[in-house]
Amino acid sequence: MEFNDLVARDDELRRLDQALGRAAGGRGVVVTVTGPVSCGKTELLDAAAAKEYVIVLRAVCSAEERTLPYAVIGQLLDHPALSSRAPGLACVTAAGRTLSADAENRLRGDLTRTLLALAAERPVLICIDDVHQADTASLNCLLHLARRVASARIAMILTELRRLTPAHPRFEAELLSLRHHREIALRPLGPADAAELARAGLGPGVTAGELAEVYEATSGNPNLVRGLVNDVREAWAAGGTGIQAGRAYRLAYLSSLYRCGPVALQIAQAAAVLGTSATVTRARRVSGLDAETVDEATEVLTEGGLLRDHRFPHPAARSVVLDDMSAQERRRLHRSALDVLDGVPVDVLAHHQAGAGLVRGPKAAEIFARASQELRVRGEVDAATEYLQLAYRASDDAGARAALQVETVASERRRNPLAPSRHLDELAAAARAGLLSAEHGALTAHWLADAGRSGEAAEVLALQRALTVTDQDRAHLRAAEVSLALFHPGVPDPDRNPHPLAPEELATLSRAARHGVTADNALLAALRGRPESAAAEAENVLRNADAAAAGPTALAALTALLYAENTDAAQLWADKLMAGTGAAEGEAGYAGPRTEAALRRGDLAAAVQAAAAVLDRCPLPPLGISAVLPLSSAVAAAVRLGEIERAEKWLAEPLPDAVHDSLFGLHLLIARGRYSLAVGRPEAAYTAFRDCGERMRRWDVDVPGLALWRVEAAEALLSGRDREEGRRLIDEQLTRAMGPRSRAMTLRVRAAYEPPARRIDLLDEAADLSLSGNDQYERARVLADLSEAFSALRQHGRARGVLRQARDLAAQCGAVPLLRRLGVKAGRRGRLGRPPRGIRSLTDAERRVATLAAAGQTNREIADQLFVTASTVEQHLTNVFRKLGVRGRQQLPAELAGPERPG
């Protein structure tokens, strides 16, 4: 579809045609077409010039030729019909010199007589575009002619930019006094007319919302509408969506702005530099123009839709104005803005401080630092980090620079908790030089430890102890020491027995620091075998955590939930926190807990996907110790999926030596053991599991929620000679307190050490527990073992029923090696019975809750059976109802009953 350049101009065209018809009949007219910039004046002129029965003489005025005498008349004389009749006139005007009064009178008379004679033969149309830019000498000639065309076949059409004070008051006043003068006033397009113009270019499929966006970005200026539509059309052809301004829109805006004149350009430039702080008064003071001049230029810009209350209709418009200025012009305006702005937010001052190039000295450093703090409070982390870096470069004080480096790293890690920490060498040096506060020293120690430099972290804390003065300083260091001891228990230190901070110590800390300590306390409770207390404290922290700035606090709390064997709550909170951040930040910050939770639910593909989103984006060493958790969980998941090569690739990643002293290094040992077992190296697997167990006992973190190392080791010994050792390990594990999932796994391996007749009871109990444990993969393994036990006892009917359930669960998990063991070829996985699509969209936790709800259990009963809170059950059911499109539990589909229980 092509644009209709004269959309919504039917009335104006009709009036123009009437004027031309009058002139063709010997009653000459002078028509002035007025209106804002780029509102269609030239298009109307083009429509008039398209008449075939007239001689058309055209001229376009410009600001550059305004001081050139007879520049406009010279353009008219370029037409052969006129120049052939009066060759002398062309010579006079081409000289570009001011004539004497007598010579100018002769020129006017000769020009008028020549045109009247030409009109006697054929109607003449004289089109002058942008007459407000015309030179004075040409205007005098045109006015002389205008007074004498009333009885001639001549039509003069002049287009003019409407403004409060006319560019040529005498000329316009003289025209208005003529009885044969007409004025046609144009206005910008309204929303409906702009939509018609946009629809002509974008087609009938454009939505009402998109048309509204077009109008918002153009204010009905036809030139801007056409430019924006061209950009959108090009973007859509390339597969894009939405309304995006590009090159055509930017050029259309700039061309419209230049046509408004140099004063309007200065006002637009001032508004562009001032941004959201722009007002009439500030634009006047920054530009240095007087109030009347600014008011006139502002009116021109506003009427043309180029500014609205000194705001640009679209960010691209402001951008092109800024880009069009030289760096020197921008700096000058930014300096002017600093002089006139008062009472504005500090980040606005910082913007102009940087724009003016005033980026050195203590004053600049203070402004940039304050701006960063303000932006961080507003959640604008990227901008806050940029201003911190400016403050660092501006300052020449060693202590201030060290503090700013700490804040910079903290800001970067809020954006991406697994991002490689820069400046660590400088911060470690600053700590040794005594330049860091206790709080900043504690943060530096944490980052060093997470980067695999736990020995240096301990050194920094030791140095800070000698510098502490206040109770708050001591509390910060105590909190850092507890955190280091929790996450890096293998670091040598005589004081490695962490205990929670006392209430009086907590009281001295900030709210965010207290949350961090509470999260560490929750993790400590989980590692000391108090899962209920750990889960309660962790959820309390997560309820009050700011998703965008939770960082290490959320990681500690989520890890505490995992080690307290509350997988569903960990998954729920990780998803919720991730939704509160950007996608990339959420993937990085919560990759470890999300991957481990998915693994423990048997959602193997989700575990690999969550980890790969981070691990495949960056080499592992710069990511630090925190990345070891998603790596370990992903390796275990890949092994169970049968993706051995992928597991090998991740295990081959170089790691810092400090991994062996870290809590997450235990997960890596378990993952290595499972990989070794999968590739037929049970002795290597047993060694890895035993190594894990020895560290857990030495570090006093021997809890099943972290790792069931005895069960893993006993399973590795099943195919070896030392079965007695395996039996001893599994029996020892059975004496310890465990959650349903851990106990089900323990009973499954214990059953493997018994003859088939004695396995049934153990596996039956494991199958019951696996329902509450909510691990689809482990339940599939229990049912697989139970099917084999039934077959060994020749109870083939029961064996086949349980086998079907095991195959279905293994297929849902994508566990290829387990499917092969169950007699299913890899190519047949897609033909196994699957639940309806709506049910398949549920997570394992949601499906478990929905199954029990469909069976008639109350929220409290479900919570007790699944070891979660009633509020967690309620949140899962809300998601279930939404995904299945039902209003309540009475409408839950019967298929949620799932596979029948064995027995």
With contact defined as beta carbons under 8 Å apart, do 73 and 141 qualify? yes
pLDDT at res. 421: 66
pLDDT at res. 420: 56
3-state secondary structure of 741: helix
784-798 tens-digit pLDDT: 999 999 999 999 989
Closest Cα partner for 215 from 95, 12, 206, 528? 206
With contact defined as beta carbons under 8 Å apart, do 764 and 735 qualify? no
Categorize the per-residue pLDDT at 638 as very low, low, confident or very high, splitting at 50, 70 and 90: very high
Categorize the per-residue pLDDT at 3 as very low, low, confident or very high, splitting at 50, 70 and 90: low
Mean pLDDT for the stretch of residues 586-591: 66
Closest Cα partner for 678 from 707, 638, 706? 638
Asked which of 102-106, 797-801, 847-851 is least confident by mean pLDDT, the reply is 847-851
Mean pLDDT for the stretch of residues 293-309: 90
Categorize the per-residue pLDDT at 830 as very low, low, confident or very high, splitting at 50, 70 and 90: very low
Supply the pTM of this predicted model: 0.64
Higher per-residue pLDDT: 620 or 680: 680
Helix, strand, coil shares of the chain as percentages rounded to 5? 70, 5, 30
Cα distances (angstroms) measured from residue 888 to each of 380, 851, 854, 892: 40, 13, 10, 7
3-state secondary structure of 31: strand
CA angle 698, 701, 707 (to 5 degrees): 110
Higher per-residue pLDDT: 194 or 590: 194
Type of residue found at 639? V
The Cα–Cα gap between 466 and 446 comes to 18
Q: What are phi and psi of 33, to 5 degrees?
A: -100, 110
The Cα–Cα gap between 351 and 488 comes to 42
pLDDT at res. 867: 65
The Cα–Cα gap between 76 and 91 comes to 13
676-693 tens-digit pLDDT: 999 999 999 999 999 999
Mean pLDDT for the stretch of residues 48-65: 88
Give percent of the chain above pLDDT 90.
47
3-state secondary structure of 122: coil
The Cα–Cα gap between 677 and 82 comes to 99
Cα distances (angstroms) measured from residue 327 to each of 270, 273, 288, 320, 680: 14, 12, 19, 14, 67
Instruction: Tell me: pLDDT of 134 over 60.
Output: yes
240-252 tens-digit pLDDT: 888 999 999 999 9
With contact defined as beta carbons under 8 Å apart, do 464 and 441 qualify? yes
> From 3.40.50.720, 3.40.50.300, 3.40.309.10, 3.80.30.20, which CATH number describes the 10-185 domain?
3.40.50.300
Instruction: Tell me: pLDDT of 753 over 70.
Output: yes
Mean pLDDT for the stretch of residues 731-749: 95
Instruction: Tell me: pLDDT of 826 over 60.
Output: no
Q: Over the range 680-708, which residues count as b (16 or more CB within 10 Å of their CB) and which as e?
A: eebebbbbbbbbbbebbeebebbbbbbbb
Strand-strand pairing, 181-185 and 154-161: unpaired
Cα distances (angstroms) measured from residue 313 to each of 208, 310, 336, 645: 19, 10, 24, 54
Which 3-state string (H, E, C) describes 610-665?
HHHHHHCCCCHHHHCHHHHHHHHHHHHHHHHHCCHHHHHHHHCCCCCHHHHHCCHH
Task: Tokens for 570, please give them.
Answer: 């960990």
Beta bridge partners of 129: 60
Instruction: Tell me: pLDDT of 320 over 70.
Output: yes
Instruction: Tell me: pLDDT of 900 over 70.
Output: no
Residue at token pair 């679209």: 314
426-485 tens-digit pLDDT: 889 999 999 999 999 998 998 888 888 888 998 999 898 888 889 999 999 999 999 998
pLDDT at res. 533: 94
With contact defined as beta carbons under 8 Å apart, do 172 and 166 qualify? yes
Categorize the per-residue pLDDT at 903 as very low, low, confident or very high, splitting at 50, 70 and 90: very low
The Cα–Cα gap between 103 and 122 comes to 29
CA angle 290, 293, 299 (to 5 degrees): 135
Instruction: Tell me: pLDDT of 25 over 80.
Output: yes
With contact defined as beta carbons under 8 Å apart, do 692 and 673 qualify? yes
Residue extent(s) of CATH 1.10.10.10 domains in the chain? 835-903
Instruction: Extract the runs of DSSP E, i.e. beta strands, from 666-799.
Output: none
Instruction: Tell me: pLDDT of 824 over 80.
Output: yes
pLDDT at res. 629: 92
Residue extent(s) of CATH 3.40.50.300 domains in the chain? 10-185
The mean pLDDT of the chain is 87
Which strands sit side by side in the sheet containing 29-35, from one edge to the other?
55-60, 124-129, 154-161, 29-35, 181-185
CA dihedral 275, 281, 282, 288 (to 10 degrees): 120
Mean pLDDT for the stretch of residues 295-311: 90
The Cα–Cα gap between 740 and 571 comes to 17
Which 3-state string (H, E, C) describes 468-505?
CCCHHHHHHHHHHHHHHHHHCCCCCCCCCCCCCCCHHH
Q: What are phi and psi of 167, to 5 degrees?
A: -70, -35
Task: Tokens for 751, please give them.
Answer: 């059953």
Closest Cα partner for 85 from 121, 123, 58, 49? 121
529-565 tens-digit pLDDT: 999 999 999 999 998 866 544 577 888 999 999 999 9
Instruction: Tell me: pLDDT of 523 over 80.
Output: yes
Categorize the per-residue pLDDT at 901 as very low, low, confident or very high, splitting at 50, 70 and 90: very low
Categorize the per-residue pLDDT at 663 as very low, low, confident or very high, splitting at 50, 70 and 90: very high
Task: Tokens for 406, please give them.
Answer: 């700490």
CATH class of 835-903: mainly alpha
Instruction: Tell me: pLDDT of 259 over 70.
Output: yes
With contact defined as beta carbons under 8 Å apart, do 793 and 756 qualify? yes
Higher per-residue pLDDT: 250 or 93: 250
- State which H helix or E strand residue 302 sits in: helix 291-303
pLDDT at res. 902: 36
pLDDT at res. 748: 96
Q: What are phi and psi of 685, to 5 degrees?
A: -65, -45
Alpha helices by DSSP H, 122-189:
136-146, 169-176
With contact defined as beta carbons under 8 Å apart, do 628 and 655 qualify? yes
Mean pLDDT for the stretch of residues 826-835: 46
